[in-house]
Amino acid sequence: MFTYNTLKKVLFMFQPETAHHLGEYALRILPNCRLLNNYMVKKNFILNPKLSQEIFGIEFKNPVGLAAGFDKNATMIKSMPALGFGFTEIGTMTPRAQEGNPKPRMFRYPEQKSVQNAMGFNNEGSAKVLENLKKVYPFTIPIGANIGKNKTTPEEYALLDYKALIRKFKDTSDYLVINISSPNTPNLRDLQNEKFINELFSMAKELTDKPIFLKIAPDMEVDVAIELCKTAVNAGAAGIIATNTTIDYSLVPNAQDFGGLSGACLTEKSYELFKEIAKELYGKTTLISVGGISTGEEAYRRLKAGASLVQSYSGLVFEGPSMIRKINEEILELMQKDGYNHISEVIGSDLK
């Protein structure tokens, strides 16, 4: 019987970025293969009212979404229900197209079920991505747009990049995400300061009433991260996404000394920072947790800690296309075990 483990052996013969392109090609053509696509949607997309929730007037049929970085150019949106995702986040997009960092820039660590990437916001640019988005938006699941500044844009002009991107994507996405936490654009994380955050969200509020999230890095001191998140929320952020990849290279033996680590090695680091942020902000804003989530047990832990939604990406590399279905099934099992009738009872239950 054909399994993902069989396919994985083939894919792992290729460089990680090549394997990603092969996966992208398959997902781009999947919607054209209606029988297969419909079969996968029926098999993987868990449709259970216990998991459905409305956030910002948007229906999320299940709480597990695709994290940014996988679908940079909005070419795979139509295949996301076939993988079981309740929502998807495209990008990171920059105003102008850019090639990203020199190759090789993606590395697998199978023993640690982790990935390291130094992609550097490689994407086809906002105009092309917008063209792709207009073909599918609005879609059957919510779409988030993750935006970042161009590498060549000086720090003092970063605000203009984000302004242009918000204007461009506010009408073709259900929410937006400000990415100033990737480790792969030089000095980008320097923008994680209160002055820039205040200016950014004050500007954003004037441009759109769409929900705009701030995505933060896992490598900040807890107190600094909490204050930054508070500043963002007070300035108009609709919520916080925690966390991006980490530059703590001690988490994986023989890791590269550049780029960001994700996957299982990030699980505890991401959870611990998220938990502390949630203690301060749960009930005051919407929280999304991402980083090392590949099981229902871990997703459930994040929900209990205060996440309304969770995201995953790197786990797909190791677990395959049935992962999201299994996560949602495990969440339902754990809810039944704990006597919860709806996901809203789970969210933040550790803090109540």
Residue ranges of the binding site for substrate? 72, 117-121, 179, 184, 244-245
Contact 243, 274 (CB under 8 A): yes
- Spelled out in words, what is the top-level CATH class assigned to the domain 4-351? alpha beta
Give catalytic status of residue 289 as yes or no.
no
pLDDT surpasses 80 at 292: yes
Residue ranges of the binding site for FMN? 68-72, 92, 146, 179, 215, 243, 263, 292, 313-314
Q: What is the CA radius of gyration of the chain?
A: 19
pLDDT tens digit sequence for 209-234: 999 999 999 999 999 999 999 999 99
pLDDT tens digit sequence for 99-142: 999 999 999 999 999 999 999 999 999 999 999 999 999 999 99
pLDDT tens digit sequence for 235-252: 999 999 999 999 999 999
Residue ranges of the binding site? 68-72, 92, 117-121, 146, 179, 184, 215, 243-245, 263, 292, 313-314
Residue of 268, 225, 274 whose CA lies nearest to 250? 268
Residue of 287, 162, 190 whose CA lies nearest to 233? 287
pLDDT at 1: 59
**Chain centroid offset of residue 53 CA:** 18
Sorted by where each begins, the domain ranges of the chain are 4-351
Using CA atoms, how far apart are residues 120 and 295, in angstroms rounded to an integer? 28
pLDDT bracket for residue 26 (50, 70, 90)? very high
Active-site residue among 181, 182, 289, 308? 182
Place of tokens 């009930």: 283
Residue of 314, 307, 313 whose CA lies nearest to 331? 307
Place of tokens 């994700």: 262
pLDDT bracket for residue 47 (50, 70, 90)? very high
**Cβ atoms within 10 Å of 257's Cβ, excluding its own:** 6
Mean pLDDT of the chain: 97
pLDDT surpasses 90 at 2: no
pLDDT at 286: 98
